[in-house]
Amino acid sequence: MRNCIDFDPTELEAALTDLDSAYNPAERMLRHPFGSPGYHTQHAGEWVHGTRVAGEYALALCDSGDADRLSRAVGIIDRLLSLQDTNPDSNTYGIWSWFLEEPLPDMAPPDWNWADFIGTYLIQIAMDHGDRLPPDTADRLDQGALHAARSIIRRDVGPAYTNIALMGTHVTFCVGEHYRDDEVLAYARARLRRFVEHTREHGAFSEYNSPTYTSLAARIIARMGRDIEDEAAQPLVSWLYDLVWGDIAQHFHPPTRQWSGPHSRNYSTLLGTRELAFFQRALGGNVRLMDGPLAPDPRPPASRPAARRSTSSTSSPFMSRARSSRSTAKARRPSSAQPTSTTRSRSPASTEATSGTSSAPSSATGTAPIHLRSRSRSSTMAMITHPRASSPSSPGLMSSPPSSSPPMAATRT
Which band of pLDDT confidence, cut at 50, 70 and 90, is reported for residue 7? low
Pick the CATH number of 9-411 from 3.30.720, 1.10.3470, 1.10.8, 1.50.10: 1.50.10
Contact 36, 108 (CB under 8 A): no
Domain extents for the chain?
9-411
Predicted model pTM: 0.76
Most confident option among 113-117, 251-255, 304-308? 113-117
Q: What is the pLDDT of residue 280?
A: 87
Q: What is the pLDDT of residue 267?
A: 86
Cα distance between the two ends of the chain? 6
Partners of 23 in the β-ladder: 30
The total of other beta-carbon atoms located within 10 Å of residue 154's CB is 13
Which band of pLDDT confidence, cut at 50, 70 and 90, is reported for residue 31? very high
Most confident option among 105-119, 336-350, 355-369, 381-395? 105-119
Contact 261, 402 (CB under 8 A): no
CA 222, CA 216: separation in Å to the nearest integer?
Answer: 10
The total of other beta-carbon atoms located within 10 Å of residue 278's CB is 23
Helices (H), 83-112: none
pLDDT tens digit sequence for 161-204: 999 999 999 999 999 999 999 999 999 999 999 999 999 999 99
Q: Which helix (H) or strand (E) holds 252?
A: strand 252-253
What average pLDDT does the segment 103-132 reach? Answer: 97
Contact 389, 323 (CB under 8 A): no
Q: Is the peptide bond before 387 cis (omega within 30 degrees of 0)?
A: no
pLDDT tens digit sequence for 143-157: 999 999 999 999 999
Given a cut of 90, whether residue 316 has pLDDT beyond it is no
Given a cut of 80, whether residue 118 has pLDDT beyond it is yes
The SS3 of residue 299 is: coil
Instruction: Write the DSSP assignment of 39-71 as a string of letters.
Output: SB-----SEEEBHHHHHHHHHHHHHH--HHHHH
Alpha-carbon distances of 158 from 181, 191, 195, 211, 305, rounded to whole Å? 22, 9, 8, 21, 31
Residues 6+ positions from 144 with CB-CB distance below 8 Å: 80, 81, 84, 86, 122
DSSP state for residue 224 in the 8-state scheme: H
pLDDT tens digit sequence for 261-271: 999 988 888 88
CA 21, CA 302: separation in Å to the nearest integer?
Answer: 15
The total of other beta-carbon atoms located within 10 Å of residue 13's CB is 16
